[in-house]
Amino acid sequence: MKNNILNELFEEIQGSKELKRTENKMLLAKKIDMGMKAKGFNKSEFAEEVGQKNSVITRWLSGTHNFTSDTLTDIEETLDINLLDSKLDIATSPIIIQVSTPNNQKEYDVVGLYQNSDLITSTNNNIN
């Protein structure tokens, strides 16, 4: 009984991963299609611009293609669009290192405070 429940949960998790992958591929395909239209490219013209065959462009626009980062970069440059958001969406987070001093005081050194992957500040704090 427990095995069946675990198997069902595992299949559900795998299904949601696949759904997310499919959604991302469809979103990329739509962005490429919109970028082509904005630039006035038909499939043949776009294929020529990126050095691909028409059949490759058809796969890209089908929402089933698994892109490499190099291909995405080439498409972004050709269409002058952003397919992937380059910013990290993280909260402000300290990078802390703990060391012990000779008199067993614990010293915490905040070596960096980051927000959206940018270093904001650096400080030292001693805690007894």
Summarize pLDDT for 80-124 with one digit per residue, the tens: 888 886 444 444 444 445 555 666 665 554 445 444 445 444 444
Q: Which domains does the chain possess?
A: 2-79 (1.10.260.40), 93-127 (no CATH)
- pLDDT value of position 99: 53
**119 pairs with which residues across the strands?**
114
Q: How many angstroms separate the Cα of 64 from the Cα of each of 19, 67, 123?
A: 12, 9, 48
pLDDT in tens, 36-58: 999 999 999 999 999 999 999 99
- pLDDT value of position 127: 40
With 0-12 / 13-18 / 19 or more C-beta atoms within 10 angstroms meaning exposed / middle / buried, residue 10 is exposed
